[in-house]
Amino acid sequence: MTSELIIIREYCIQNQVEPDFIVQLENEGLIQISSIENERYIHISQLKNLDQYVRWYYDLSINVAGIDVIQNLLDKIDVMQDEIHRLKEQLRLID
């Protein structure tokens, strides 16, 4: 299981990220942090999103609230694209 976890402290050092930024992301519900034996971890499945949030925050100067809004919009787009795909499949079956 620990092979699927990334130590947040090490991630922050390697990527020059402030640990407070990670805490802010967790507080907004954008990532989930696990604590095991006084060490904080993020699951590897969240790494892609975390890397994206880091780029938005540090490269584009988007604050955490803005990141939350963007992520919510992207999630809605994914849901709508799935719905469009499902509707197209239904139309294809009718024809």
Domains, the chain, with CATH or none: 2-94 (1.10.1660.10)
Alpha-carbon dihedral angle through residues 51, 53, 57, 61, given to the nearest 10 degrees: 120
Per residue in 25-36, pLDDT tens?
999 999 999 999
Please determine, for residue 43, whether its predicted confidence score (pLDDT) is greater than 90: yes
- Asked if 28 and 69 touch (Cβ cutoff 8 Å), the reply is no
Residues 6+ apart with CB under 8 A from 46: 31, 32
What residue has token string 């969240």? 46
Per residue in 47-75, pLDDT tens?
999 999 999 999 999 999 999 999 999 99
